[in-house]
Amino acid sequence: MRYILLYFIISLYIILLVSRYNVLRKKIHLILILGIAIVFLYADKNNRIILEIFFGTIARAFSSAVSWVSNNVVQPIIQKIVCPVANVWDPAGIYDKTCPLDCKEGGWTDWSPCSAPCDGGTQSQTLRIIAEARNGGRGCPSQRTNTRQCNTRPCNKDCDYTEGKWTKCSKPCNGGIQTKTNIIREQAIGKGKPCPPAVLSEECNLESCDCDFRYTDWSGCTKECGDAGTQERDLVILRGPIADGKRCPLLKTEKRGCNRKKCPVDCVVSSWTNATKCEAVKGK
């Protein structure tokens, strides 16, 4: 009879360990205490010692085994039966407190204003958390703040361009036009060096198409006076004619008269004549 009662008490204790209801657990625990006390009252001294050893060993073994079964077998089964199929946020606690509920996110905030208008700044955004996870649900992300660079353009920057090459002049002489095209990649920023015009034009080949020549200085006159004096100068050709320009003079040396004036004539006198006879003058 005593062993039947002991078996009954141990069975109730197992039920107590796997029970998920706190109120029922307290009631059964009270009943077990009373049952154990009754067994000890009816047992003699020797049996009482044996029962103490037996109960202690059985209780510790069953406590460890049933605790593992409760956490790894019974509790997941109960969660599948009681907890909602879809993982929903349950702020009112409608479902059982042991149901796993995932982190409830509220989305990312807008990016904050950039910390600098130029030369590179930073801005951030934060993940809003409505409720943290509980009971083993999927936790909230550890990374809850994102940062990025912004306004990376420099505050002052020179124009970025490639200078073009001048085209061939539209005329070989007498003034033509040539152009060049600059490739502008990025305009200047702030106080940077501004960009040149995209297209530039200028006059070119302004020299005359005619022969370019000059004369040397006139040589000295061959006579100082009279009608036969001459002097010369030579032709020096600097550049021949271009295209339909005027040809160079054919005469390589020019001559002209000079000092065409009457030569001065000196006075010409004869030698002195003999002196006349002296005559006296009256009254002297």
Confidence of residue 134 (pLDDT cuts 50, 70, 90): confident
Convert 82-136 into a string of H (helix), E (strand) and C (coil): HCCCCCCCCCCCCCCCCCCECCEEEEECCCCCCCCCCCCEEEEEEEEEEECCECC
Whether 80 shows a pLDDT value over 80: the answer reads no
User: Phi-psi region for residue 73, left (φ > 0), alpha (ψ -120 to 50) or beta?
Assistant: alpha
pLDDT digits 0-9 by tens, 56-68: 666 666 667 666 7
- Residues 162-167 have a mean pLDDT of 94
Q: How far apart are CA 137 and CA 86, in angstroms?
A: 12
pLDDT at residue number 202: 94
Per-residue tokens: 154: 């420099």
pLDDT at 7: 47
For the chain, the average pLDDT equals: 77
Cβ atoms within 10 Å, residue 119 = 12
Evaluate the CA torsion angle 89, 92, 94, 99 in order and state its sign: positive
Average pLDDT over residues 98-106: 81
Q: Catalogue all structural domains in the chain, each as residue range(s) with its CATH number.
A: 2-82 (no CATH), 104-150 (2.20.100.10), 160-204 (2.20.100), 212-257 (2.20.100)
pLDDT (mean) for 207-211: 89
Taking the whole predicted model, whether its pTM rises above 0.85 is answered as no
Contact criterion met (CB below 8 Å) for 56 and 4: no
What is the rounded CA–CA span in Å between residue 213 and residue 247? 10
pLDDT at 23 over 50: no
Kindly tell me the sign of the dihedral angle through the C-alpha atoms of 57, 60, 66, 68: negative
64's enclosing H/E stretch is helix 45-69
| 146 secondary structure, DSSP code | E
> Rounded to an integer, what distance in angstroms lies between the CA atom of residue 274 and that of residue 75?
181
